[in-house]
Amino acid sequence: MNPLEATHIRPHAKELMDLCATKVEEFRLLGYDQVKLEEVWEFVCAKLPSDTHLHQLVEFILSMRVMDFMNYQTISAYKGSLS
């Protein structure tokens, strides 16, 4: 589920996307040049429950590790190749 669909989170969409963009830049500084904003947001949506509070969403984005993101991408790629 997309957390932006929640009424208490929707007003903060721009700031949340800015946080994700910052995380993309961090990953690029670490050498992961192909990471896209959409992929980071997809990861956030996949990992958080639908009833997430704003502070939990912000904390998740800020504490996201490149290893967790890349593991998710790898598993998604394997699932995609099996379908």
Domain that holds residue 22: 3-82
Alpha carbons within 13 A on the beta-carbon side of 16: 24
Higher pLDDT, 81 or 34: 34
Of 73, 49, 74, 43, the residue nearest 61 (C-alpha):
43
pTM, two decimals, is 0.88
Residues of the chain above pLDDT 70, percent: 95
What is the number of domains present in the chain? 1
Residue 8, pLDDT > 80, answer: yes
Query: Average pLDDT, stretch 35-42?
Result: 96
Distance CA 51, CA 73 (A): 24
- The predicted structure's pLDDT at residue 81: 65
Cβ-contact 23, 40 below 8 angstroms: yes
SS3 16: helix
Give the pLDDT confidence score for residue 2 in this predicted structure: 84
Question: Quick check: 7 pLDDT over 90?
Answer: no
